Amino acid sequence: GDSVTQMEGPVTLSEEAFLTINCTYTATGYPSLFWYVQYPGEGLQLLLKATKADDKGSNKGFEATYRKETTSFHLEKGSVQVSDSAVYFCALRYTGTASKLTFGTGTRLQVTL
């Protein structure tokens, strides 16, 4: 079945460091791909998305490119802030009336001063 694999956390970085969180997927078709972020004590928020190969999603300084050849959707940010500390989830979703998101297990990011 379809699945999403994320790198194990936690990831600990100093402020202004470069961030990469790896995400790869297994899918039988061509899903849309998403990154969600969950700040402490809150629900998930959509961070960015890409709907087809080579699309780049971006938001709040974060970017991810849909790579069909490597089945990847890695999340990057050039300079992280303490306020980026959160859990990040990669997910995929197909088209269709009852399509549903399949999530990875999440990667916790801790940014220190």
Partner 1 sequence: DVKVTQSSRYLVKRTGEKVFLECVQDMDHENMFWYRQDPGLGLRLIYFSYDVKMKEKGDIPEGYSVSREKKERFSLILESASTNQTSMYLCASSLRGWGNYGYTFGSGTRLTVV
Smallest separation, CB 64 to partner 1 (Å): 13
CB 76 within 8 A of CB 90: no
Q: Judged by CB, which is closer to partner 1: 51, or 85?
A: 51
Residue 59 DSSP SS3: strand
Q: Judged by CB, which is closer to partner 1: 47, or 80?
A: 47
Smallest separation, CB 31 to partner 1 (Å): 6
**Binding interface with partner 1 (CB under 8 A):** 31-32, 34, 36, 41-46, 49, 51, 89, 93-101, 103-106
Q: Judged by CB, which is closer to partner 1: 67, or 93?
A: 93
Report cis status (omega within 30 of 0) of the bond before 10.
Answer: yes
Smallest separation, CB 79 to partner 1 (Å): 25
- How far apart are the C-alpha atoms of 61 and 105, rounded to whole Å? 23
Residues with Cβ within 8 Å of 97's Cβ and at least 6 positions away in sequence, in order, are: none
